Chain A
Amino acid sequence: MENLLSIALWGVLVFTTMGLFFGIALAAAARRFHVPSNPVVEEVNENLPAANCGACGFAGCHAYAEEVVENPDVSPILCAPGGADVAVEIGQLTGKAVGEMRDEVARLRCYGSNNWAKQQAEYDGINTCVAAMLSFGGPKSCKFGCLGLGDCVRVCQFDAMHISDLGIVEINVKKCTGCTLCIAACPKDVLTMYPREHRVILSCLTQERGKAVKDSCMVGCIQCQLCIKACPAKAIDYRDGAIDVNHFTCRHYGPECKEICVEVCPTDIIHLPGMLPDPDKKAKAKAASEAKEAASG
């Protein structure tokens, strides 16, 4: 008992002495090596969302606050999670012009869910897209499709992504801040940034043609070019071997086109937000017209 008491007493004494010694030494060092900080930097830092996501291109919110105050070339609109309010606040504090904000959200350019895209193998390895891709490009036949193992979900700090029942990523556009972390995390490059206000969604990234696409996915773009020919705004064209929509041109043209690209697309690859694909659209349309003809005749 005495032994225990002595250990306890000495322990308290040793640690108190140690704490006092280091406390005084650190206080003296802090006084001697004090660096005055810019109060505007602290004020900007307090206005930032403290997400430390790196979307601004700097190592954390404090680093961005320092740069935006001290470097005249750093724009006040780089904080995507903060949005327009934070940009205006930073602009006022730093005296910089805010200009136009890039308000973008991430969108998945794939419809290849487990029931539409064919599997080339059963994957039983490490549960990440990067690891799966190392094994012959992943379990899906389409080498441009979403693997659905959630690398983007893991990096999203805003709970805007999850793997849906269909086996591909589903994005909650309301929660998406446009930080682009998911874009960098996706090994298939199947996520793209869209302007927040967009009229149509293009859900395929394939660079393959007709038969190869049909062999791997029932809702792949067969590159029939019907949408390119039909679009009155000339907003659809090829880029990097795949079909692509210029959303700025599309939105600028207005609703007069009545989304003709959605109408003509035989596989619903170009569709309205929230729409599900219908690979048998063409067959159903043919059957409906035949039934109509039979009824009238």
Chain B
Amino acid sequence: MSIAGIEGLWSIEPSVVALLVSGVIGAALISNFVFTKYLGLCVFFGVSRKRETAIGMGVTFGVVGVLSGTLSWLLHHSALEPLKLDFLQIIAFIGIVACLVQGTDLVLKKIAPALHKKFGIYLMLITTNCVILAIPLLNATAGASFVEAVSLSLGACLGFALALFLMSCAREKVDMAPVPRLFRGLPIAFIIAGLFALSFLGFSGLKVM
């Protein structure tokens, strides 16, 4: 950030906290991965029927997203970039995500079997989820610093969890509404998602730093 002073321009480096907060707000609200980038829609529509599963998936997604974003950044900066192995980044990132999802599956099966059963196939779908893969790829292509990478991962996962929660609240209400038969289920869900996307457009006026 630059400020005009008496003796020319002053340059102020933003603090780590400011970087983290602005990154999180930017990824969660201003450019929400679901509503502005249309990523991760299969899990978004699959698990947003009930609030309980939406919250559970939001938390699981957050853990996997932040861990994979951080680990991928570490791998990219410590091995892939210095050794000129950038062209293998997608394979490396998918490997990291797949192992983390498998680990989450094992842990969840032990500590929350009911939630694990409710997720069904959608837990494994996180492996190929475009939001989860987009986080390390965006970090790698933008040359983000460690703090920026963590903030983007956190923001993207918070934004996805927020989208899931809002959608599950809306769908629980719509399930009881007299929706015409042809619009029931996914068609009305897509219409609701479109309306949410329009409302999230309002956040584009929000300027962070």
A and B physically associate: yes
A29 & B107 in contact (Cβ 8 Å cutoff)? yes
A147 to chain B, nearest CB (A): 13
Q: What B residues does A14 contact at CB under 8 A?
A: 79-80, 83, 85, 92
How far does the alpha carbon of A3 sit from the alpha carbon of B83 in the complex, in Å? 10
Chain A contacts for B102, CB-based, 8 A: 26
- Complex alpha-carbon distance, A162 and B142, angstroms: 51
Bitwise, A5-18 to B at CB < 8 A (1) or not (0) is 00100110011001
What residue of chain A has the Cβ atom nearest to residue B79's Cβ? A14
Closest to B98 in A: A22
Q: Which of A11-35 contact B (CB under 8 A)?
A: 11, 14-15, 18-19, 22, 25-26, 29-30, 33-35
Say yes or no: is B182 at the interface (Cβ < 8 Å to chain A): yes
Q: Which residues of A contact B80 (CB under 8 A)?
A: 14
* B117/A63 in contact, CB under 8 A: yes
A133 within 8 A of B: yes
Asked if B83 and A10 sit within 8 Å, CB to CB, the answer is yes
Interface of chain B residues 110 through 137 with chain A (CB within 8 A): 110-111, 113, 117, 120-121
With a cutoff of 8 Å between Cβ atoms, the chain B residues found around residue A22 in the complex are 95-96, 99
In the bound complex, residues from chain B placing their C-beta under 8 Å from that of A30 are: 106
CB distance from A59 to the nearest CB of B (A): 5
Q: Quick check: A29 and B79 within 8 Å, CB to CB?
A: no
Main secondary structure of the interface of B (DSSP, over half): helix
Choose among B84, B92, B103 the residue that contacts A18 (Cβ–Cβ < 8 A).
B92
Interface size bucket, B side? 20 to 34
Whether a CB of chain A sits under 8 angstroms from the CB of B6 is no
| Cβ-defined partner of A10 (8 Å) among B85, B120, B182 | B85
Contact (Cβ within 8 A) A35 B113: yes
Q: Is the CB of B107 within 8 A of A7?
A: no
Report A296 CB to chain B, min CB distance, Å: 57
Q: How far is the CA of A34 from the CA of B111 in the complex (A)?
A: 11
Q: Does B181 contact A (CB under 8 A)?
A: yes
Contact-residue size bin, chain A (C-beta under 8 Å from the other chain): 20 to 34
Chain A residue nearest to B187 (CB atoms) is A130
* Contact assessment for A187 and B85 in the assembled complex, using a CB-CB cutoff below 8 Å: no
B75 within 8 A of A: yes
A11 touching B103, Cβ below 8 Å: no
Chain B: which residue is nearest A9 at the CB level? Answer: B83
Closest to B183 in A: A134
Residues of B close to A7: CB separation below 8 A: 83-85
Question: Which residues of chain B have C-beta atoms less than 8 A from A35's C-beta?
Answer: 109-110, 113
Q: Do A33 and B75 form a contact, CB below 8 Å, given A7-B85, A18-B95, A134-B182?
A: no
A130–B111 alpha-carbon span in the complex (Å):
42
Question: Once the chains bind, are B113 and A11 in contact (CB under 8 Å)?
Answer: no
CB pair A26–B99 under 8 Å, yes or no, is yes
* Leading 7 A-B pairs by shortest Cβ distance: A33-B110, A22-B99, A10-B83, A33-B106, A14-B79, A29-B106, A29-B103
Q: Which residues of B come within 8 Å of A, CB atoms?
A: 75, 79-80, 83-85, 88, 91-92, 95-96, 99, 102-103, 106-107, 109-111, 113, 117, 120-121, 181-182
Residues of chain A having any CB pair with chain B under 8 Å = 3, 7, 10-11, 14-15, 18-19, 22, 25-26, 29-30, 33-35, 59-60, 63, 130, 133-134, 187
5 A-B pairs besides A35-B109, A63-B117 with CB distance below 8 A are A7-B84, A10-B85, A18-B95, A25-B99, A60-B120
Give 8 pairs: A residue, B residue, CB < 8 Å, sorted on A. Answer: A11-B85, A14-B80, A18-B96, A26-B102, A26-B106, A29-B106, A29-B107, A63-B120
